[in-house]
Amino acid sequence: MAQHSENQVPPASDNAADLDLPWAPRDHKWSGPKAEHDALKWADGDALKMASIYLYRKPGGNPATEADYKFPVADIVDGKPTLVFHAVANAASRLGEADISESDRKQVEHRIGNLYRQASKAFDDPSLRAPWDR
């Protein structure tokens, strides 16, 4: 993720989840509404923190609120953002239904593909592949 000054809001295209976060155990329970609630509380209005766990933010939206974010791929575990495989799989399954531009969809698809490849290595399971890579 690019570096931004404290008062500068990153553009939506730079608002991707931090793909270098640690992974929760593969069987980590994940609930989208709970994860989003916990993320909002953890970020405490910090746009860069919010952006670090979502794959997309609506261009021109309010970067400090969860309403303009889509595709959370992390949960707050022990006070730290942590990638969750079930969240990544959920993002992949919802991508086709999302009301986002085609260029944003391609960007999110690419990031999800990267996360699947990382999960495959992290969990030593070569069968883990994004739905469109099967």
Print the SS3 string covering the chain. CCCCCCCCCCCHHHCCCCCCCCECCCCCCCCHHHHHHHHHHHHCCCHHHHHCCEEEECCCCCCCCHHHEEEECEEEECCEEEECHHHHHHHHHHHHHCCCCHHHHHHHHHHHHHHHHHHHHHCCCCCCCCHHHC
Residue 108: the pLDDT is 93
Residue 1: the pLDDT is 37
Residue 15: the pLDDT is 55
Residue 65: the pLDDT is 76
What global pTM score does this model have?
0.84
pLDDT along the chain (134 residues), means of 10: 36 58 94 90 87 86 82 93 95 94 92 95 96 91
